[in-house]
């Protein structure tokens, strides 16, 4: 299994795989243009034969916070360690950038527990994530994702304050 940074040529595979899990709400639907614009955030897994097996993205908010996003593997790559390899690569990348905390929102917390993540009970502790995505999410008023983090929850934010995030969360349930 090879884990490498994505290239623009990978955008179609990323788009198809991410959106294959959007109809059931596992992942947010992403436009092809959005994948292309953010392809440098992605890391991909390929089999020894060069076949695309999965992807994940690391979104950098700043030195205080990064987010693991769109981490998914093809059905035939599940339970073979591919997801763990992708996640570890993204965590290594965050460390290379000196990021103090990595967060994510998920419906499969058990996988991330095994990699050192813990539940964040108060999602307003992650206002950058809330301001980047939650306002545009189709599940805004019925979020069923678990907020998780690895590292020290930051005391700073660049997109909105914790008070503003608390107001947004209160408005959306």
CA distance 28 to 72: 12
Give 84's pLDDT tier (boundaries 50, 70, 90). very high
Q: What is the tens place of the pLDDT at every residue in 18-43?
A: 999 877 767 778 899 999 999 999 99
Give 143's pLDDT tier (boundaries 50, 70, 90). confident
The partner residues of 101 in beta bridges, in order of sequence, read 151
**According to the model, what pLDDT value does residue 25 have?**
67
Give 171's pLDDT tier (boundaries 50, 70, 90). very low
Kindly report each contact of residues 141-144 with a partner whose C-beta sits within 8 Å and lies 24 or more positions away, as own/partner: 141/172, 141/173, 142/173, 143/105, 143/172, 143/173, 144/25, 144/107
Give 144's pLDDT tier (boundaries 50, 70, 90). confident
Q: What is the tens place of the pLDDT at every residue in 44-83?
A: 999 999 999 999 999 999 888 999 999 999 998 888 999 9
Q: What values do phi and psi take at 136, rounded to 5?
A: -105, 0
CA distance 97 to 117: 19
Q: What is the tens place of the pLDDT at every residue in 95-128?
A: 999 999 999 999 889 999 999 999 999 887 887 7
Q: What values do phi and psi take at 141, rounded to 5?
A: -95, 0
**According to the model, what pLDDT value does residue 99 have?**
94
Task: Set out the domains of the chain in order of their start, with CATH numbers.
Answer: 2-172 (3.40.630.30)
Over 50: is that where the pLDDT of 172 sits?
no
SS3 readout for the chain: CEEEECCHHHHHHHHHHHHHCCCCCCCCCCCHHHHHHCHHHEEEEECCCCCEEEEEEEEEEECCEEEEEEEEECHHHCCCCHHHHHHHHHHHHHHHCCCCEEEEEECCHHHHHCCCCEECCCHHHCHHHHHHCHHHCCCHHHCCCEEEEEECCCCCCCCCCHHHHHHHHHHHC
**According to the model, what pLDDT value does residue 56 have?**
97
Its pTM stands at 0.86
């Amino acid at each position: 299994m090879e884990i490498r940074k994505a290239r623009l040529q990978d955008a179609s595979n990323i788009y198809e795989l991410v959106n294959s899990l959007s109809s059931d709400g596992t992942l947010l639907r992403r436009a092809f243009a959005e994948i292309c614009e953010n392809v440098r955030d992605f890391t991909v897994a390929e089999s020894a034969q060069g076949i695309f097996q999965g992807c994940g993205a690391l979104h950098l908010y700043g030195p205080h916070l990064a987010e693991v996003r769109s981490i998914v593997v093809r059905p035939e790559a599940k339970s073979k360690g591919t997801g763990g390899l992708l996640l570890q690569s993204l965590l290594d990348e965050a460390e290379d950038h000196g990021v103090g905390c990595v967060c994510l929102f998920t419906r499969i917390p058990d996988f991330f527990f095994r990699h050192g993540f813990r539940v964040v009970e108060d999602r307003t502790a992650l206002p950058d994530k809330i301001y980047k995505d939650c306002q545009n999410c189709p599940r805004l008023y019925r979020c069923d994702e678990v907020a998780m983090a690895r590292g020290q929850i930051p005391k700073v934010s660049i997109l909105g304050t914790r008070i503003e995030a608390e107001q947004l969360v209160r408005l959306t349930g």
